[in-house]
Amino acid sequence: MHNRPIPLNQLRTGQKARISRILGHPDHIHRLEEFGLLGGTCIEMFRPGNPCIIRMAGNKICFRANNGLSISVIPIPWDD
């Protein structure tokens, strides 16, 4: 079953996902890419909300709601 992309802010604590798409001002996208946040990158929601905190490759990154930035992710099924 293929999962559809959802907004990053819909992930729950501990849920993992892959970055599907980042849309926004090119400078903002470039800054995220410098942190290693690229399409296909696996992330984990550490703390949802505003700001939200994600974990990526052992690092934590904090995001504040930004009307000009949209991050879509494809959730990875929970381990049973």
- The one-letter amino acid code at 35 reads F
Q: Which residues contact 7 (CB under 8 A, 6 or more apart)?
A: 70, 71, 72, 73
- The confidence score (pLDDT) of residue 80 equals 46
Can you tell me the mean pLDDT for 47-56? Answer: 91
Q: 5-49, pLDDT tens digit by residue?
A: 999 989 999 999 999 999 998 998 898 899 888 999 999 999 998
Q: Which residues contact 38 (CB under 8 A, 6 or more apart)?
A: 19
The CATH number of 6-75 is: 2.30.30.90
Task: Please state the domain extents for the chain.
Answer: 6-75
Six-digit token pair at 67? Answer: 């009307």
- The confidence score (pLDDT) of residue 78 equals 74
Of 31-40, 55-64, 71-80, the one with minimum mean pLDDT is 71-80
